[in-house]
Structure 1
C-alpha cells in the first residue's frame, strides 16, 4: 500500500495489512488458549499447537508492522524491533532483487546499497510476479526521490538475481557441504570396523561340544527350525519368516524373495553368529544376511566427499565474483562438476577394491598417483574456464576464418532488421555487409544499418539478461539513432561483429563526399 501525504512523503505499508492483523489476532488467541489449557492440566500436544500458532503469528506481526517512509531527508525504515533512518547521501543505489520460488513464480524486492558497501533488503515494497504495476510504481517513486535528493551511482536499474554476484545464493550450500563431509568422515571411520567384522565372519568355525559357553558367540551355531508362516511386505520392507519354535527367535526379517521362496512347513537350518541369524538354509532356497563390506563404506565415503564438492564449487564461484558489480552474472560452476565426475571415475573403484590397502602395493600407488594428476589437470582447466574475463582478454583480435561466416548472436530487441526477434546468427565477411539471419545461411537475411549504430558499452551479462542468453556471452549496448539496442554473442564473436560494423561505417564515410557528411 502506497500513500503520499501533504508533505510529499511516500509511505509504504503491506497491501495485506488488514488480513495480517487478522492472522495475528487468531494466532495470539491460539497461543493464549494453549497456555491456559496446559496450566489447567490439558494434554501435552497443546504445547505443539501453541508453538505452531506462535511460528505463524510472529512473521505475520512483523509484516503487519513494517513501514517504509521516504521524504526529502532520506529513507526511514520501521520494523517490529528496529527503527532506522538513512539520509539519501548515504545511499549509493537502489537495486531490484529477483528471486525464483521453488514451485515457480518470482518475488521482487528492493535492495539498498549503502555508501559504505553494506547491502540491506528492504521489507517493502514487495512484488510477486514479473508483471506487478503497483510494485513498479512504488520502485519508481523511491528511485525518483533518490535521484532528486541523493547521488545515485547510475541511472540504470541494477537487477540482482541468484545467479549474479550480488545475489545471496543458496543458504543450504554450506549446510549441505558440512553434512556431506561429516557423513564421509563417519563412513571412513567405520571402514576398519567393517573390515574386522568381515574377517571374523569369514574365519568363524562351527561350535563344538567342548567350546566354552562364553566363547560360543564367536563360533557358528546351527539350529533346526520349522517355518510356520511368511509375510511379504513388499520390495522396500522385505518380508518376515515365523517359526513354530521360538528358539532362538520367533520371527526373522528377510528379503522379499526369501519370504516368497520359503513356505509354511519347510524345515530349515539357522546359522547363528554372535546372537544373530546369519543364514537360513532350506531344501529349495538359502537366505544369507548381508554383511557390510569395507569396500562399500569406502566408496560411500568417497562419494559423499565428492558430493560435498558441488555446494563448495558454488560457494567458490560466489567468492571469486565478490568484486564484480552486483548485477553481473557469475560463471557457471559446471566445469567443477565435471572435475568431480571425472575424479569419481577413478576414485570410487579404487576405494571399493582396496578400502584398507591403498598404500600397500605399487599398483594402488600408481593408480592413485595417476588419478590425482588427472584431477589436478581437470581442476586447472575448470579454474581457467570459470575465471572472470574482461572484454579485452576475450575479444582480442586473432586469426579469423576467411570468407563469409555466420556467428551465433542475437539482438535482444525487435527492430526493423530483427523483426519479432527472429535472428539467431549474424553474417560477417564475404562480399555482403553484416546481416541478421534466422540460421547459418543467407535465407531471409536483413542488412544491419551500420551507419546509424553507435557502440556505447561492451559488458558482461547482467541481471535478468542471464535468463535469455548464455552467461558466458557478452552484451554490447548500442544506440540505433536514439533507440537503445542490445547485441549478445560470445566475446570473440561479438568483437568480430563490432569490427565488421566499424569497417562498414569507415568505408561508407570514405565514399561519402565531405559536403554530404
Structure 2
C-alpha cells in the first residue's frame, strides 16, 4: 500500500503462492499423463496429480488478485474478471465477516463494495483471518478515506455485516431448508414401500419341493454353509464381513460389528435367502438378521428432516422481518424457534413411529395430531413474539425519571474502557440507595463498585446492536450512545433495563 491518493493491494504471500502455482502445473501434467496412460500408471498418482492441480489453480486465482484505488475510482481484477468503478458510482464500503470459529480467535473478513444501484460485490482484496488485524483495518480505512475525498458515502460509520446482521443474504438458508424438505418428502414417499416390504418379509414362508422355480424368490430358502474367517471392524471405519469356506454359497457377507465378533471361524451356519439376498445367518447360539427398514423409521426420518428444515426457514423469516433494518443491525436470535421445533419433536416423532402410515386414518393419530398441533401453535406464537424487533425510539420516548427506593441490580455493560469500567470488568449496574455504580457481579451488595459520574454523562441516541456488537452482547439488547465529557461511550442492556438506567441519567422535569 502506498501513501497519498493512490493505494494498491496485492496478496501478502506472493512468494509462497508462486511455488504453489508451479507445483499445481506439475500436478496437472501428472494427472493428464496418468489419464492418457490409464492402466499403466497407478490410479493413486492420478488422484494425487488432480489434488495438487486444484491447489495450484486456487493459488493462481489468489496470486493474480489485485485492487487499485486512485483519483478516478476503484479497479480490481482476478484471474477471470476485471472491472473499473468510478467513485461517483460507489455508495459505500463494508466489512463482511463470513467465517468465524467458535472461540472467536480467528475470523475471515473481506470488503464489500456497494454500488449506487444497490448491487454488491465482495472485493478479492484486502482479506484478513484475524479479528485484531490492524493492517486490514488500516487498508479498509484508506479506501474509505479516498471515497470520502472524491465522493459522498452513504454511511458515516463502518458497516460490519455478519451472519447475525440484517444485511446477510437469505438464499443459502432458503436453499438448505428446501433441500431438507425435499429429503423429508422423499423419506415420507418411501414409508408405504417400507411397510409393504416389511409385511412381505414377515409373511414369507419356507420354500417346498412343490414351489415353482419362478416363485422361489418369494419364499424362504435355507442353505448350509461354514464360516472360514471373520473381519470385525468398528462402525463408521470399515465394514464387517463373514467369509465362507470354498466361497459357497457366496464368498463373503457384510454383517454388523457384533455379528462378526459373535461368529467364529469353523462355525456351521444356515443362511436364509429371500429374493436372492441373504437376510439371516443362524449358528449355534448366534443369529444375525439383516436390517429391514421399518415404515416407522422412514416416517421418523421424514419428520426429523422436516423439523430440521424449520430452523433455516426461521432464519429466512427473521431476515424478512428485518428487511427494513440497516444492514449492520443485529437480528434477534432464532433460538426461540429452535425451542418450538424441539417441543414439536417431542410429540411428532413418537406419533410418526407408532402410526407411520395411518396418520390421516387412525382416530388415535388424528386426536394426537390435534392436541400436538395446539401445543406447537402456542410454542410458535411465543417464538414469534420473543423474536419481535423492538424499536429503541419507543423505549426512550416512554422513559421518565423515577427514583429507585431500593437497590436494583441490572445486567448491563459499558463497552468502552473507562475509569468506572476499567478493562470492561463491569457486568451489572446497581441503582437505588446511592449513586448508580458499575459492579462485576449480580449482587447483593456493592463490593468492588465503581461510581458512574452521572453529572458527566449525556444520552445522545439509543439504537439496536449492530455489526460486531452482536458478538459481545445478546442480540436482544439495545445500545445507548452516551457522551462522557466529550468522549463517546456505549452502554448495552436489555431494552427495559436500559430504560430504567436512562431514567437515572436524565434530570427530573421542572415542576
Q: Could you state the TM-score of these two structures normalised by the residue count of structure 2?
A: 0.87
**Mapped contact 1:230–1:259 kept (Cα < 8 A):** no
Q: Higher mean Cα deviation, 88-97 or 273-282?
A: 273-282
Task: Work out which of the residue numbers 409, 431, 449 in structure 1 matches 2:453.
Answer: 449
Structure 2 residue matching 1:413: 3-state secondary structure: coil
* Paired position in structure 2 for 1:120: 121
Cα distance 1:453–1:239, how it changes in 2: closer, same or farther (>3 A)?
closer
Structure 2 Cα separation of the partners of residues 153 and 432 of structure 1: 44
Q: CA deviation at 1:477?
A: 0.8
The alignment status of 1:497 with 2:497, answered yes or no, reads: no
Q: CA deviation at 1:488?
A: 0.6
* Paired position in structure 2 for 1:210: 210
* Paired position in structure 1 for 2:85: 86
Q: CA deviation at 1:328?
A: 1.1
Task: Work out which of the residue numbers 11, 17, 33 in structure 2 matches 1:14.
Answer: 11
* Paired position in structure 1 for 2:414: 411
Structure 1 residue matching 2:469: 3-state secondary structure: helix
* Cα offsets for 1:89-123 (capped at 9, x unmatched): 33222222234345851233222222222222222
Structure 2 residue matching 1:144: 3-state secondary structure: helix
Cα distance 1:387–1:248, how it changes in 2: closer, same or farther (>3 A)?
same
Q: CA deviation at 1:26?
A: 4.3
* Paired position in structure 2 for 1:515: none
* Paired position in structure 2 for 1:307: 308
Cα distance 1:299–1:89, how it changes in 2: closer, same or farther (>3 A)?
same
Structure 1 Cα separation of the partners of residues 21 and 242 of structure 2: 55
* Paired position in structure 2 for 1:74: 73
Q: CA deviation at 1:409?
A: 0.6
**Mapped contact 1:163–1:169 kept (Cα < 8 A):** no
The alignment status of 1:340 with 2:341, answered yes or no, reads: yes
Cα distance 1:479–1:296, how it changes in 2: closer, same or farther (>3 A)?
same
Structure 2 residue matching 1:134: 3-state secondary structure: helix
* Counterpart mapping for 1:347-496 below 5 A: 347-393=348-394, 396=398, 403-429=406-432, 431-439=433-441, 440=443, 441-496=445-500
Cα distance 1:149–1:194, how it changes in 2: closer, same or farther (>3 A)?
same
**Mapped contact 1:162–1:169 kept (Cα < 8 A):** no
* Cα offsets for 1:141-197 (capped at 9, x unmatched): 2222222221123332222222222235794x4454344223222221221111112
Structure 1, unmatched stretches of 5+, are: 511-517
**Mapped contact 1:188–1:297 kept (Cα < 8 A):** yes
* Cα offsets for 1:43-80 (capped at 9, x unmatched): 59576566545533444333333332222332233333
Q: Could you state the TM-score of these two structures normalised by the residue count of structure 1?
A: 0.86
Q: Higher mean Cα deviation, 327-336 or 488-497?
A: 327-336
Structure 1 residue matching 2:209: 3-state secondary structure: coil
The alignment status of 1:64 with 2:66, answered yes or no, reads: no
**Mapped contact 1:226–1:245 kept (Cα < 8 A):** no
The alignment status of 1:167 with 2:144, answered yes or no, reads: no
Structure 1 residue matching 2:126: 3-state secondary structure: strand
* Paired position in structure 2 for 1:513: none
**Mapped contact 2:229–2:266 kept (Cα < 8 A):** no
* Paired position in structure 2 for 1:183: 183
Cα distance 1:208–1:19, how it changes in 2: closer, same or farther (>3 A)?
closer
Cα distance 1:349–1:400, how it changes in 2: closer, same or farther (>3 A)?
farther
Q: Rg: which structure is higher?
A: 1
Structure 2 Cα separation of the partners of residues 382 and 231 of structure 1: 54
Structure 1 Cα separation of the partners of residues 390 and 203 of structure 2: 61
Structure 1 Cα separation of the partners of residues 245 and 14 of structure 2: 69
Structure 2 residue matching 1:85: 3-state secondary structure: strand
Q: CA deviation at 1:337?
A: 1.0
Q: CA deviation at 1:334?
A: 0.9
Structure 1 Cα separation of the partners of residues 158 and 181 of structure 2: 40
Q: CA deviation at 1:392?
A: 3.6
**Mapped contact 1:177–1:311 kept (Cα < 8 A):** yes
**Mapped contact 2:242–2:260 kept (Cα < 8 A):** yes
Structure 2 Cα separation of the partners of residues 416 and 210 of structure 1: 97
Q: Higher mean Cα deviation, 16-25 or 90-99?
A: 16-25
Structure 2 Cα separation of the partners of residues 154 and 179 of structure 1: 37
Structure 1 Cα separation of the partners of residues 267 and 52 of structure 2: 57
**Mapped contact 1:227–1:266 kept (Cα < 8 A):** yes
Cα distance 1:356–1:3, how it changes in 2: closer, same or farther (>3 A)?
same
Cα distance 1:35–1:192, how it changes in 2: closer, same or farther (>3 A)?
closer
Structure 2 Cα separation of the partners of residues 506 and 296 of structure 1: 66
* Paired position in structure 2 for 1:295: 296
Structure 2 Cα separation of the partners of residues 47 and 247 of structure 1: 37
Structure 2 residue matching 1:189: 3-state secondary structure: helix
* Paired position in structure 1 for 2:326: 325
Q: CA deviation at 1:467?
A: 1.4
How many residues of Structure 1 are paired with residues of Structure 2 in the alignment? Answer: 501
Q: Higher mean Cα deviation, 243-252 or 144-153?
A: 243-252
**Mapped contact 1:280–1:287 kept (Cα < 8 A):** yes
